[in-house]
Amino acid sequence: MTIRLSVRQLGLFIVLILVFLAPSCKRRTTAEFIVIKDPVIALKHIRVIDGTGEVVREDQTIIIESGRIAAIGPTAQINVPPSATSLDLSGHTAIPGLVGMHEHLFYAIDGGERYVKAPESFAPLYLAAGVTTIRTAGALDLDTDQYVKRSVDKGRLAGPKIHLSSLYIDRRAGDLVNPQKVAKVINEWADQGITSLKIYENINGTEIKSIVDAAHKRGLKVTGHVCAAGFVEAAQAGIDNLEHGLAVDTEFFSRKKAGECPQRSEWLPELARIDVQSEPVQRMIRELVIRRVAVTSTLAVFESFVKEKFELDPRMQDVLTEDALADCRTSLAEGKKDPRWSKLWEVVLKKEMEFEREFVKAGGLLMTGVDPTGWGGVVAGFGDQRGVELLVQAGFTPEEAIRIATLNGAMFLGEDSRIGTLATGKQADIVIVRGNPAANIRDIRNVQLVFKDGVGYDPAKLIESVRGLVGEK
C-alpha cells in the first residue's frame, strides 16, 4: 500500500519524529512537575499584588477551587473550607501569572546570526518564571509551534497557555500586494488556529492595510516590527499592536525614503538624539492612543545591546548548552572591545523608557515580553522577569509594572475576564514569590510556586528539566 502525504503533512510528520527522537527530550511527563493539585487550596497569610496597578495588600488569603479563585481577601475575613489544603505563605507575595506578549519558541545563537528551535526547553522555562500565558510574536516554523501548543493543552508538556502568531510576514515575491492572495493565506492561518499576524520590517503602509483588512475580517489581530513604515503610517493603516516601541520607529530619520527600511546603523544615531518631549514624538504617541494601537515593551533584549555594561543572568549558565554559553561570552567580549555601539544603545534604551512612560501617561496600552532573540543574551522566562524590573527602572511603580506584564496583555488578548488579575472568579493563574516585589522588584525572580488553572508547579524542577538544553543545534 502506498501512503501519500502532502508537503505540509510530511513536514509535520518530520517535526513529530524529530521531537520524539531528540535526545534532549527525555520523554518527561507534566505530572512530575506538579506539587499540588487538590480540589480546594487555601493560600493563607500571603501578600497580594493583584495586577490592577493598585497598591500591595498585606495578610490576604486566596481560596482556589476547581481551578479558579473562589475567594480572596483579608485573612481574618475569609472562611477556609475544612476540606482545603492550606499553605501558610507568610513572607511571600502572590502576583498574577505573567502574560508575555512578545515571546518565541526559538533562540538566537552564533551572535544572532542563526536561530535554533527551543520548543521543549522554552515552554517549561516560561512557566518556571511565572509566565502562564504567552503570545508567540512570530514563528519560524508553524508546525513546531502548533505541536508545542497541542502538547501543553493536552498535558504532555509543561508550559504556558499559548496564543499562536503567524510566520513572519516580510516581503516575499509579490503575494503581499495581491489582496486575494493575502486573504487566502490569512484564511488558511486562521483555520489552523492562528490568532494574530506578525508583520516584519520590509512591509510598507499599503501592504499593512491590505493585511490588516483581511485579518480583521477573520477576527485576527495584527502586530508588527515595522521599519519601511513608521509608527504613524502603520497606525493609520489599522495595525493593532506595534512591537518594541520608539527604539525601532524610523519615521524620524531625516533621510527616510517612503516604503523603504533604512539600515539601523544609519538611523539609530539620529534616534539617540531625539527629544521624546518634542511635538513630533508626542504627536506620534497621540496618534497611537487615539487609534488604540498597543505597544509591546521589550526592554530586556534592548538592555542586552548595552554590552559594555550588560551581564548575563547567572541562571542562564544552568540552562544553556556549553556552546551557546560560550557564544554569549564571546559576543559580550567582542562588544566590550568597541564600546561605541554599546554607548549608543544605552542612550536609546533610556529614550525608550521615557517613551514608554509618556505613552502610558497619554492613555496608551503598554504590554511586555522578552523577545528572546538579539544575540542570545536573554532567554524565555528569565528575560520576562528582567523586563518587569526594567519597567520599574523606567519609572513605573512595581504595581504598575506588574499590571503592564499581566492585565494589559490579557486585555489585548480579550482574556481579561479570565486572567490578568487576582480576583474572585478568575482562573487561578498565580505566581508565589518569596519576598515583596512592591518593595524590591528583584524579588519577582524568587518564584517558589506557579499555579496555572489552579494546578501548582515546582519552578526548580522545571528549570532542572532543561539544564544544558537551550541552544541545542
Does one domain contain both 182 and 316?
Answer: yes
Does one domain contain both 339 and 191?
Answer: yes
Does one domain contain both 375 and 447?
Answer: no
Identify the pLDDT of residue 54: 97
Does one domain contain both 148 and 42?
Answer: no
Identify the pLDDT of residue 171: 75
| CATH code, domain carrying 398 | 3.20.20.140
Confidence of residue 6 (pLDDT cuts 50, 70, 90): very low
Does one domain contain both 179 and 193?
Answer: yes
Residue 469 within a domain? no
Among 370, 395, 413, where does a domain finish?
Answer: 413
Identify the pLDDT of residue 14: 40
Identify the pLDDT of residue 343: 96
Q: What mean pLDDT is predicted for residues 262-275?
A: 96
Does one domain contain both 289 and 382?
Answer: yes
**pLDDT at residue 297 above 70?**
yes
Residue type, 383: G
More confident residue, 130 or 17: 130
SS3 at position 146? helix
Identify the pLDDT of residue 338: 87
Residue 2 within a domain? no
Residue 26 within a domain? no
Identify the pLDDT of residue 471: 95
Identify the pLDDT of residue 28: 66
**pLDDT at residue 334 above 50?**
yes
What average pLDDT does the chain have? 93
Residue 169 within a domain? yes
Provide the H-helix boundaries in 192-306.
205-217, 231-236, 264-272, 279-290, 299-303
**Beta-bridge partners for 34:** 457
- pLDDT tens, 414-442? 999 999 999 999 999 999 999 999 999 99
Give the torsion sign (CA, 418, 422, 427, 431).
positive
Confidence of residue 177 (pLDDT cuts 50, 70, 90): low
**pLDDT at residue 13 above 50?**
no
Does one domain contain both 69 and 115?
Answer: no
Confidence of residue 12 (pLDDT cuts 50, 70, 90): very low
Identify the pLDDT of residue 422: 98
Among 391, 413, 435, where does a domain finish?
Answer: 413
Residue 39 within a domain? yes
447 membership: H or E segment, kind and range: strand 447-452
Confidence of residue 29 (pLDDT cuts 50, 70, 90): confident
| Helix axes of 279-290 and 340-361: crossing angle, nearest 10 degrees | 50
Does one domain contain both 387 and 424?
Answer: no
Nearest to 437 by CA among 400, 399, 381, 382: 399
Separation between Cα atoms, residue 401 and residue 96, nearest integer Å: 12
Q: What mean pLDDT is predicted for residues 388-408?
A: 98
316 contacts 370 by C-beta, under 8 angstroms: no
Does one domain contain both 315 and 366?
Answer: yes
- pLDDT tens, 230-266? 999 999 999 999 999 999 999 999 999 999 999 999 9
Total number of domains in the chain:
2
Identify the pLDDT of residue 465: 97
More confident residue, 163 or 120: 163
| CATH code, domain carrying 430 | 2.30.40.10
Does one domain contain both 235 and 345?
Answer: yes
Does one domain contain both 214 and 345?
Answer: yes
**pLDDT at residue 365 above 50?**
yes
Residue 241 within a domain? yes
SS3 at position 185? helix
CA atoms within 13 A on the CB side of 412: 33
Residue 244 within a domain? yes
Locus of grid cell 534604551: 349
Does one domain contain both 110 and 58?
Answer: no
**Beta-bridge partners for 431:** 95, 450
Identify the pLDDT of residue 375: 95
Residue 72 within a domain? yes
Task: Give this prediction's pTM.
Answer: 0.93
Q: What mean pLDDT is predicted for residues 279-298?
A: 98
| Domain membership of residue 64 as a residue range | 33-96+420-464
Separation between Cα atoms, residue 205 and residue 264, nearest integer Å: 19
Separation between Cα atoms, residue 404 and residue 367, nearest integer Å: 5
Separation between Cα atoms, residue 17 and residue 150, nearest integer Å: 15
Among 373, 394, 413, where does a domain finish?
Answer: 413
Confidence of residue 172 (pLDDT cuts 50, 70, 90): low
